[in-house]
Amino acid sequence: MQHSTSEKTRVDPSNPETIPKFVDELPIPAIAKPNRMVNEKYPYYAIEMKEAKHQFHKFFPETTIWGYNGMYPGPTFHVKKDETIKVKWMNRLPSQHLLPIDRTLHGTSHSPDVRTVVHVHGAHVAPDSDGHPDAWFTRNFKIRGETFKQKVYEYTNHQMGATLWYHDHALGITRLNVYSGLVGFYLIRDPLEEELQLPSSEYEIPLMIQDKSFNADGSLFYPENTNPPAEVNPSVVPAFIGDTIVVNGKVWPFLKVEPRKYRFRLVNASNTNGYTLKFENDHPFYQIATDGGLLSEPVKLNSLALEPAERADIIVDFSTLNGQSLILKNSNDEGDLGFIMQFRVVLPLSEKDMSKIPSSLCSDEPLTEEMATKTRLLTVGATIDQYNRPMLLLDHRMWDDPVTETPSLNSVEIWKFINTTPFAHPIHVHLVQFKILHRRPFNLDRFLEDGYIQYTGPAIEPNDNEKGWKDTVRADPGMVTSIIMRFENFTGDYVWHCHILEHEDYDMMRPMKVIE
Ligand SMILES: [Cu+2]
């Protein structure tokens, strides 16, 4: 396709109607390289958070972003299961934030504007390497938050092979730091997985989906203020959805593929937006993994819902589509946000496709309700703050309230999320991978009146493609969503929260302490 210079001049980054789709090739993020070995044993990585220029679309001016090693998305970690790595995450960012800061939110009134801390989402890791929201640090570690302990994080990777991702988690500004570009993939590889002959190497592609809005000059747009209150400006917004879709850093990209099977590692890294992914011609695909690793068997799908922070590994077989193009759509939206990216089956088959979609993927040890020694009832709710703004809360408590979720080491617990709001919240628990037990409708009016949970229907099993290990669960409105998990290996301070980042920052996050 040829584009004239006049087309370039007509493109207005702030107006999605003027932005041509599928003109940029999908980038594959660079692979993170260890700088050296520690004691000839541990790969050691030094990663710098830096301001940089990024080309979101070939007809956009360059955009200032923040990225790990100056890249958006950051470099992809490829690590082996059970192999320890060390990472020194370094802040080399300027002292002024790219985006407007609300100083009424937790942690924002007396702290520096630009502070960072890195969380590997889904990692089973010691608390001092988990990226606690108060363990933030500024440029060159000059100022440090109250729970800061160490400059070098250690990841032991004692968990299943999985598609994890890393992102910023600094208290009260997570939504702004992530939106600025502080995100990347962290892939754990399990040698057992190699034996399954899944599509691999250049046929295994990570896809990070985010929504973004731009100003006319190509700079990132993030809203400064909602309606009232005028006295809080900038003010957090209760939700933010951009007007373009960005995959691996390009707006509505395309990917040329061979007529064969591919494995895609999907993450929804958006602030608020959820997607229901679907090929335009209903082309089926197979989900093989959830947040925490392989499913016990592949699940054939025509569409796949992904809330913020959820991941899915899927296999798509393009072998019957030689010469065709197909668009990956988002059926939640009829407009521009209904388009994710395009696949063009135009590359010649380089060799016979020997990869497989095995009928069975991995054996699974179940967690049963009888194993649980504690059940926690946790409200997912909303209130109104002193400025008349909506404020979302977990268990009616704020981030700064004393810790109440204190599971014992090696215990199994059931957590029931009682959603009293009219929308779904993706709830993320650090440290663990859990199983979804069920979702069950309840009488909301009765619950709001006297706190009694009167179920109004039978418990609904999770979908087949949600039956694997999860670290983020969609808590549906009007439902009690039950999960079960075991707290193993580590004690100390962690967090659990809604992964809609505008909610997490205000004030839908709670401490969690695993005790002896
Ligand atoms: Cu939420």
Give yes or no for a contact between 57 and 246, defined as CB atoms under 8 angstroms apart. no
> Which among 272, 312, 326, 265 has a CA at the least distance from the CA of 465?
312
> Which among 65, 293, 88, 275 has a CA at the least distance from the CA of 183?
65
Q: How far is the CA of 144 from the centre of ligand 1 (A)?
A: 28
- Provide the pairing of β-strand 85-91 with 374-384: unpaired
Q: How far is the CA of 103 from the centre of ligand 1 (A)?
A: 20
Q: How far is the CA of 504 from the centre of ligand 1 (A)?
A: 7
Q: How far is the CA of 11 from the centre of ligand 1 (A)?
A: 34
Q: How far is the CA of 172 from the centre of ligand 1 (A)?
A: 15
> Which among 393, 424, 120 has a CA at the least distance from the CA of 276?
424
- Alpha carbon distance 469, 169 (integer Å): 22
Bridge partners, residue 470, by sequence: 434
Give yes or no for a contact between 311 and 465, defined as CB atoms under 8 angstroms apart. no
DSSP-assigned letter for residue 455? B
Q: How far is the CA of 417 from the centre of ligand 1 (A)?
A: 12
DSSP-assigned letter for residue 16? G
pTM score over 0.85: yes
* Amino acid occupying residue 478: G
> Which among 219, 180, 190, 197 has a CA at the least distance from the CA of 94?
180
pLDDT (tens, 9 = 90+) of the chain, 516 residues, equals 445 556 666 899 999 999 999 999 999 999 999 998 888 889 999 999 999 999 999 999 999 999 999 999 999 999 999 999 999 999 999 999 999 999 999 999 889 999 999 999 999 999 999 999 999 999 999 999 999 999 999 999 999 999 999 999 999 999 999 999 999 999 999 998 989 999 999 999 999 999 999 999 999 999 987 665 667 888 899 999 999 999 999 999 999 999 999 999 999 999 999 999 999 999 999 999 999 999 999 999 999 999 999 999 999 999 999 999 999 999 999 999 999 999 999 999 999 999 999 999 998 888 999 999 999 999 999 999 999 889 999 999 999 999 999 999 999 999 999 999 999 999 999 999 999 999 999 999 999 999 999 999 999 999 999 999 999 999 999 999 999 999 999 999 999 999 999 999 999 999 999 999
Q: How far is the CA of 85 from the centre of ligand 1 (A)?
A: 32
The 183-189 sheet, strands edge to edge: 77-80, 183-189, 162-168, 118-121
Helix (H, G, I), strand (E, B) or coil at 99: coil
Tokens standing for 103? 């100083």
Q: How far is the CA of 341 from the centre of ligand 1 (A)?
A: 27
Q: How far is the CA of 498 from the centre of ligand 1 (A)?
A: 5
Backbone φ and ψ of 26, nearest 5° = -60, 125
Q: What is the CA radius of gyration of the chain?
A: 22
Backbone φ and ψ of 515, nearest 5° = -115, 160
- How many helices (H) and strands (E) the chain has is answered by 5, 31
- Alpha carbon distance 152, 129 (integer Å): 8
> Which among 315, 294, 71 has a CA at the least distance from the CA of 185?
71
Backbone φ and ψ of 169, nearest 5° = -140, 25
Residue identified by tokens 């890393």 is 166
